[in-house]
Amino acid sequence: MNTQDTMMPMTLGQVADAVAGELVLPAAGETGGSGPEPIARSVVSDSRQVRPGSVFVAIAGERVDGHDFVAKAAQDGAIAALVQHRVDAPVAQIVVPDTVEALGALAKANIAMRRASGKPFTLIGITGSVGKTTTKDLLASLLAHLGPTVAPVGSFNNEIGLPLTALKVGQDTRFFVAEMGANHLGEIARLTVIAPPDIALVLKVGCAHLGEFGSVERIAQAKSEIVRGLVPGGLAVLNAEDGHVSAMEGIVGGDHAAWFARRDEPVSQEAEGFITDAADPLHGVMHAADITIDDDDHPSFTLIAPDGRTAPVRLAIPGAHNVMNALAAASVARIVGMDLADIAGALGEKTSISPHRMAVSRIDLGTGAFTLIDDSFNANPDSMRAGLDGLGRWHAGKPVYRVAVLGAMLELGGDEKSLHEQVGAYAAGKADAVIAVGNGESHVDSLADALAQGARSQLAATGGDEGSVHLVHDIDQANDLVGRLAGDHDAMAVLLKGSHVSGLSALATRWADHAAEQAR
């Protein structure tokens, strides 16, 4: 993937016009003399990322106020700072009422300038309750085979992250893959104003952020904003398996919709590499058939293009749920002109995605070693079950002791306790031991307790060992318990899965650092 971070070149006057701000130049001599008007070549909100030619955006956060770092940004080569009030610093300042809104306006201007250049450029927006970041990573790796591609690092998908990524789009950028997330109605709509997609990819409508939205139907409404935000004549690429997603065809019409799906039954090929049955209900849909999963949880399948052409795929990343993410990415890559065999080959080569997403590694804590399946980036009921399925499949049928280390899921609304109990019960059917992890806060601990109660209830009903369920109150306790279990079992696999507040991603990082030290 292209890692360029050079925006469309703009003068300070153009930047000020784009954000409707007041340009205040430093006093004569403060910046070392006069000369040609400087050109902005990058935009950052972290002063540590400033380099010559940067515009520094001062954002006042809950803990840190970017205005306190304007002088440092000037010292490190920033040509201007976007501020909400003037700061005593020797650098040009563009004063606006709200720097976050101004950041979005500047990103919008950058995308408009790139489109106006006349060179081929395609903007792909991705949304969904689960799978956005993995699909973004897969798609960006595919598109990089066709031309310079910009995509966010990790999950930069909100009102700050998306504009900062959009401001990495430059004169040579061929594709921009924009991840778009939302906690409330209207958020994706605002993102599509900044970066209107040529192609809108919708993965799934689930119950993530259910507590914020109030109902799955309102979540679907929020996700549909990406389709409504398409450029005129744009294309919606939709999950045919999800009724809430497939209903979005009505927004664009059938001529502006494309589809992806899995199929359960095997296919019979009339000729190697090509299926010609136009009566097939999935004819015209990018789909996967003959799906199998190996002992390391890597899926293999036959990729079937809408025209019937086929190619075998073995995903280099684990997780049966990633078949749908790969299909989604393959659909877009095919639409923009990538050869099916090249798509299949690239999917088989993409071994790494953003951190803490079904990342497999070997950890030795001294007391014992185990295989870590790190899916700790975030969690909701759908992704919890997917991660637990992966744990259950890990070397299925072999004597592996499987441990599910689970944290709380947030923003699930009034049913959060019941949803945690259901996930706990599901975990009891996939793991030999369940460790529910709190963080010392009463609300998070109560949700961890619900996970444990659900697991215990399931085991009580099925005659299992309720003593295999543990409730701990921080990651240090989880670390010690996993270490003891690893010492008792020669072959052990551990899944880490929970919302960020659970701290499980920090535990994964701790273990990774420990493994790196041992390797030295």
CATH number at residue 182: 3.40.1190.10
Q: How far apart are CA 7 and CA 23, in angstroms?
A: 20
Q: Please state the domain count of the chain.
A: 3
For range 255-279, the mean pLDDT: 67
User: Which of 320, 347, 374 lies at the terminal end of a domain, its last residue?
Assistant: 347
pLDDT of residue 32: 46
For range 464-486, the mean pLDDT: 95
- Residue 1 in domain: no
Residues 6 or more apart whose Cβ sits within 8 Å of residue 146: 174, 175, 333, 336, 337, 338
Q: What is the pLDDT of residues 194-206, one digit of tens each?
A: 999 999 999 998 7
Residues 191, 338, single domain; the answer is yes
pLDDT of residue 216: 80
Is 130 marked as binding a ligand?
A: yes
Share of the chain above pLDDT 90, in %: 72
Residues 40, 14, single domain; the answer is yes
Residues 156, 58, single domain; the answer is no
Share of the chain above pLDDT 70, in %: 91
- Whether the predicted pLDDT of 352 surpasses 80: no
- Residue 376 in domain: yes
Residues 331, 414, single domain; the answer is no
Place 208 in a pLDDT band, splitting at 50, 70 and 90: low
Residues 421, 342, single domain; the answer is no
Q: How far apart are CA 291 and CA 349, in angstroms?
A: 18
Tokens representing 287?
Answer: 């789909």
User: Which of 314, 347, 380 lies at the terminal end of a domain, its last residue?
Assistant: 347
**Angle in degrees, CA 126, 131, 137, rounded to 5:** 70
Element (H, E) at 445: helix 442-462
pLDDT of residue 454: 97
* Predicted model pTM: 0.82
pLDDT of residue 410: 85
- Residue 319 in domain: yes
- Whether the predicted pLDDT of 3 surpasses 50: no
Residues 6 or more apart whose Cβ sits within 8 Å of residue 173: 2, 4, 114, 121, 148, 149, 150
Q: How far apart are CA 220 and CA 306, in angstroms?
A: 26
- Residue 105 in domain: no
- Residue 107 in domain: no
Residues 82, 124, single domain; the answer is no
Judged by phi (left if over 0) then psi (alpha if -120 to 50, else beta), residue 395 lies in left
Residues 316, 223, single domain; the answer is yes
Closest CA to 38 of 79, 91, 69: 79
User: In which domain, by residue range, is 233 found?
Assistant: 119-347
pLDDT of residue 440: 87
Is 134 marked as binding a ligand?
A: yes
Is 302 marked as binding a ligand?
A: no
Q: What is the pLDDT of residues 380-406, one digit of tens each?
A: 898 899 899 999 998 888 899 999 999
Least confident of 13-22, 25-34, 216-225: 25-34
Better-predicted residue by pLDDT, 45 or 208: 45
Closest CA to 475 of 520, 447, 519, 505: 505
Name the phi and psi angles at 368, rounded to 5: 170, 160
Better-predicted residue by pLDDT, 414 or 7: 7
- Residue 466 in domain: yes
CATH number at residue 30: 3.40.1390.10
- Residue 411 in domain: yes
Residues 62, 38, single domain; the answer is yes
Residues 293, 410, single domain; the answer is no
Q: How far apart are CA 157 and CA 77, in angstroms?
A: 28
Is 214 marked as binding a ligand?
A: no
pLDDT of residue 28: 62
* Burial state string for 219-249 with b = 16 or more CB within 10 A and e = fewer than 16: bbbbbbbbbebbeeebbbbbbbbbebbbebb
- Residue 352 in domain: no
Is 54 marked as binding a ligand?
A: no
Residues 443, 381, single domain; the answer is yes
Residues 329, 413, single domain; the answer is no
Q: What is the pLDDT of residues 486-517, one digit of tens each?
A: 999 999 999 999 988 888 999 999 998 887 77
Residues 329, 364, single domain; the answer is no
CA dist 166 → 92, 232, 382, 405 (Å) = 23, 20, 30, 36
